[in-house]
Amino acid sequence: MKALSKEQLAGQRLMVGFDGPDFNDDVKYLIDCLQVGGIILFAQNVKSPEQIKELCTAMQSHATATGNPPLFIAIDQEGGQVARLKAPFTQFPGNPHMTMEEDAIHFAEVTATELSQAGINMNLAPVMDVAPRNINSIMAARAFGHDPAWVTRLGIKVINHLQQNQIMAVAKHFPGIGRTVLDSHLELPNLDAELADLQSFDLIPFEASIASNVSGILLSHILYQNIDPQWPASLSPRIARDLLRDQMGFAGVTLTDDLDMGAIAKHFDIQTIIGQALEAEIDIVMICHKGPNIELAFEEMVKLFTDSPELNKKAIASARRIMKLKKQYLGFKGSEVQA
């Protein structure tokens, strides 16, 4: 691959949503003009297995026709409370209801088959958060359980069996949100745990995820005040870069949670958000809803890559991680990203 333009470097860092079930002009604009690297789907984008396959095929074909790399097409299909694909897709009771490793394997294999048939290549799962027994954890209905070892055992089975069946797995929500009781969709939770507390409990499943070569890790919108009192994990160089990459050795693709969520959107403007995410060396910023923030994020990235040689250098490193994953799972034939 020849040296990527600033626009391509920016577009590949975006995973975005759109309205409706059709391959429409909005989707074409995202692929043509913003050159987005990823699309995230929700229930409102899905009518039937046939329709979603047709939509995903059209999006990938358009990316190819416009000279762009293949798209990450992602969805949240955890089972239970969070499952964007409804019947006739297989419905599972959810992570808390898994009582043995075979349950996790069955979920992952069936889900991988159905996602592949639909043209979806990335599952924003499994949840690797640990929900303690002694609090009203926001993740109680979505976590595998209360014990880090049990969460690890089941989560790793999901990761391995999704990825063995060519579906990229994304472990979430780093560095762990099981201790929180406030919903980050609405407001910014503040957690006062020390790093040592996280290392002995919350981080255990993520360490195992890294050892199992999980494709992606998604960062939470939680303020871990004893690690970084200023920035939530999804915007924090101390957490996303220093802890996850440098200390824990994760070399895969990192993603923010949805930047439209109240924890972020109520506190920071999009320019600040993008600047922080890039400084934290997070590969993909996720903006899940149609609106001006998608284009503003793209424009801010192009500006920062133009103005800052250091951020441009980091952008090339990020593009290499993204393209490596696209080669591994999507058959991308492009050559090495050049500086």
Q: Which of the residues are catalytic?
A: 185, 257
Q: Is the peptide bond preceding residue 175 cis, with omega within 30 degrees of 0? A: yes
Task: Please list, in sequence order, all residues whose beta carbon lies within 8 angstroms of the beta carbon of residue 308, skipping any fewer than 6 positions away.
Answer: none
Antiparallel, parallel or unpaired: β 284-287 and 14-16: parallel
Whole-number Å distance between alpha carbons of 334 and 69 = 8
Whole-number Å distance between alpha carbons of 68 and 233 = 30
Are the beta carbons of 171 and 155 closer than 8 angstroms? yes
- Rg from Cα positions in the chain: 19
Q: What tokens does 197 get?
A: 């507390």
Q: What tokens does 297 get?
A: 């994020």
Helix H or strand E segment including 106? helix 101-118
- Closest-CA residue to 278 (of 306, 336, 123, 261): 306
Antiparallel, parallel or unpaired: β 72-75 and 77-79: unpaired
- Closest-CA residue to 78 (of 119, 38, 129, 134): 129
Q: What is the DSSP string of 143-177?
A: SS-S-HHHHHHHHHHHHHHHHHTT-EEEEEEET--
Strand, coil or helix: 302: helix
- Closest-CA residue to 2 (of 243, 290, 335): 335
Positions of E strands within 13-138: 14-16, 38-41, 72-75, 77-79, 82-83, 122-123
